Structure 1
Amino acid sequence: MQIILLEDIVTLGFKDEIVDVKPGYARNYLIPQKLAVIATESAKKVLAENLRQRAHKLEQIKGEAEALGAKIAEVKDLVISVKTSNKGIVYGSVSNIQVAEALAAKGVEVDRKKILVKDNIKEIGEFVCQARLHRDVTVDIPFTVVSENFAEEIAAAKAKAEEEAKAYKEAEKARKAAQAAGEATEEATEEATEEAKAEEAPAEEAKAE
């Protein structure tokens, strides 16, 4: 059965799209909830006219979706901390809500309804979900699920690694500075020796005479 969506539904499509669904799903849920209407010929003609009149607005919406997608793509090291058993099994599962919250913590606001987490994530590890921002704009969101049991240890280990890297850079900088100073001193010594030899040469010649 063909219907016209009146709202974005992440598992079906976007507003104003014509999609095929089971008749029972349409009549018992989508249409009563005002999420869709039956795609009759007259409804399709009205939709086409509305889309023609709103073409400029639709381009603007697409541009905004592309800009948001670019921001999401720039997010690195997206981490979701969850409560787990000692064996690393997640209590419950990771949902689009947690992904949206993790993105918000990175400064990127995304409507959780536009985030699709296909897998039933019940363990720690690396995963990928999708943000369906527009019918033409879909962005992958890679993220890592970690246990809250070990979150502090992970943060401490990361901080220690960063501190050691900083200390190494400072030590290397000091070593290069000392090396440069030593080379400058050696060069100055050689110049002084050459000058001394040059001053002694006339005296030696005088003695020889």
Structure 2
Amino acid sequence: MKVILTHEVTGLGTAGDVVDVKPGYARNFLYKRGLATAWSAGAQKQIDAIARGREARAVKSLEEAQSIKGNLEASTVQVAAHAGKEGRLFGAVSTADIAAAVKAAGGPDLDRRTIEVPTPIKAVGSHTALVRLHPEVQANLTLDVVAG
């Protein structure tokens, strides 16, 4: 079954891509979360609009992405979260929290969907996250989660 991705899906594609998936995956996951729409012959205009929007939001050049990568990897971002006495968080640190902390620290305005956390951050301490800045550039972001 062909679908048009409206958002980036890790391991599948980016917004505007036409991908072939199983019907159950499309119906039960992609459509329900608003990550894709059904493909049709007349959907080419929609694909073009999504591609234009993605280009406007994306980091324009490889050099700019390399510069941002250097700045992100050189600094440690401090994220405040509610924690108990033993350093265990009430909930987890979300990608939106990470994006807000980067912006508050004077970094670039990152889209939360470009940030990937390998394991949920549920404790105070040092953690890492991956930021996809460009199709060819990924930065490792060091996070310092503190009780706040």
Q: Same fold (TM over 0.5)?
A: yes
Contact 2:65 2:134 in 1 (8 A): no
Contact 2:69 2:139 in 1 (8 A): yes
Q: 2:34, 2:88 → 1: CA distance?
A: 39
Q: 1:133, 1:43 → 2: CA distance?
A: 32
Q: Does 1:131 align with 2:131?
A: yes
More strand by share: 2
Q: Which SS does the other structure have where 1:119 is aligned?
A: coil
The one of the two structures with greater contact order (alpha-carbon pairs below 8 A, sep at least 6) is 2
| TM-score of the superposed pair, with normalisation by structure 2 | 0.69
Overall identity of the aligned pairs, in %:
29
Over 3 Å counting, the alpha-carbon distance change for 1:121 and 1:20 in structure 2 is farther
Contact 1:10 1:116 in 2 (8 A): no
More helix by share: 1
- How well do the aligned residues superpose, as a CA RMSD in angstroms? 3.7
Contact 1:73 1:141 in 2 (8 A): no
Larger Rg: 1
Contact 1:100 1:110 in 2 (8 A): yes
Q: Which runs of no fewer than 5 residues in structure 1 stay unpaired?
A: 149-209
- The count of residues paired between Structure 1 and Structure 2 equals 142
Q: Which runs of no fewer than 5 residues in structure 2 stay unpaired?
A: none
Q: Deviations over 1:88-126 (max 9, x none)?
A: 111111110111111001222111122122311111222
Aligned residue number for residue 25 of structure 2: 25
Alignment of 1:1-209 (within 5 A): 1-10=1-10, 12-31=12-31, 35-38=35-38, 61=58, 63-64=60-61, 67-68=64-65, 70-75=67-72, 76-107=75-106, 108-148=108-148
